[in-house]
A and B are shown apart, each in its own frame.
Chain A
Amino acid sequence: MQEKNISGKKINKTITSEDILGKNVIDAEGGFIGVAEKIFIEPKHMNFIGISVDKGIIKKGLTIGKNYIDKITDHAVFLKIRVVFDIKGMLVFDKDGKKVGKVSSIDLYGNRNKIKKIYVKPSFRLFSFKEKIAISEELIENIGDNVLLNVKISSLLKK
């Protein structure tokens, strides 16, 4: 039996919360982020704001704004971005491939998915006197499986 419709719009091309919740969230690299668990709607204008992602028992949840969502398909929610929080725990190498340490925390520009600084827990032998090294975004050459810098380790020591 067809449902009655008083929405003032054709709803056959829309999706419902059921089409989002419980689906896998996949980033731009094809990485599994977690499962969509909540939908946020702004109460005044009833606009869709974003989703919250359950990343499992051990990891903290994550809220993703709608501008970062690429598409919602039958099996997953695809993001346009790679979530920068995922670089936590990655190894950091300098320009020459020398290991600097491991990413321990990240500073973002507000609530955006843009890195301001990363904090690196140094490899013991290198900077045993330093607890953390702050590395600004412009010193990062590439982020893939790990982080590559565009400077030598010696220039980080000078700071």
Chain B
Amino acid sequence: MGEPHNILKSERALEKTVNLKKLIGKRVLSKGGKIVGKIFEIRINPNNLGLEGILVKGNVIGKIMYIGKSYFSSLSHEAVILNIEVSVLIKDKQVIDSKGKKIGRVKEVLRKGTRNDLKGLFVKSLFSKKFFIPASAIGHVGKSVVLRSNYNARKKYFWQKDK
């Protein structure tokens, strides 16, 4: 294929753009390099024709995620790198209190609407019922979820009745 004729007004030159077709199947990485999944659809805004987001098939949870462009850090022919750690991927992480005691595992992630911001986590251990931990009680999310020192998780065991 020869050099195309450029018919542009104020748009970027061809070599400065990305071929969206080539992005399909490419990986999506989180801020910390976690492989979030693979792109299988790219969505554009029909009004301004700008890129709106990508549909990603999750590597870990196998669930499909629609990630908006405001969470993109960079986009290349190789991958999309996000500027966040995807909060839905906290599911199944271990939760420990500030003293290092294992509280349980994350069963459900509650977010602020559709945003990536956490509202809280539903946690469950082997003998406890599912209980809620608000985002304000979470000190750090990394390999596990570490709670703040001022928070006492109120576990309710399955033999305890609901009030």
Bound Cα distance A146, B26 (Å): 17
The interface size of chain B toward A, counting residues with CB under 8 Å, comes to 31
A29 contacts chain B at the CB level, 8 A cutoff: yes
Alpha-carbon separation in the docked complex, A24 to B96 (Å): 12
**B144 contacts which of A31, A73, A94, A97 (Cβ < 8 Å)?**
A31
- Residue A66 lies at the interface, judged by CB distance under 8 Å to chain B: no
Chain A contact residues (Cβ within 8 angstroms of B): what range?
A: 20 to 34
Contact segment of B49-57, B73-81, B123-131: B73-81
Give the residues in chain B near A51, CB-CB below 8 Å: none
Is A75 within 8 A of B101, CB to CB? yes
Known: A30-B142, A145-B33, A145-B34. A23 touches B100 (CB 8 A): yes
Residue A139 lies at the interface, judged by CB distance under 8 Å to chain B: no
Q: Given A96-B76, A96-B78, A98-B79, decide whether A146 and B101 contact each other with a Cβ distance below 8 A.
A: no
B146 at the interface (CB under 8 A from A): yes
56-83 of chain A: CB within 8 A of chain B: 73-78, 82
Q: Do A144 and B30 touch (CB < 8 A)?
A: yes
Q: Is the CB of A73 within 8 A of B99?
A: yes
Q: Does A142 contact B (CB under 8 A)?
A: yes
A78 and B100 form a contact (CB under 8 A) = yes
* A90 in contact (CB, < 8 A): yes
Residues of B within 8 A of A (CB): 26-27, 29-35, 74, 76-81, 85, 94, 96-101, 140-146
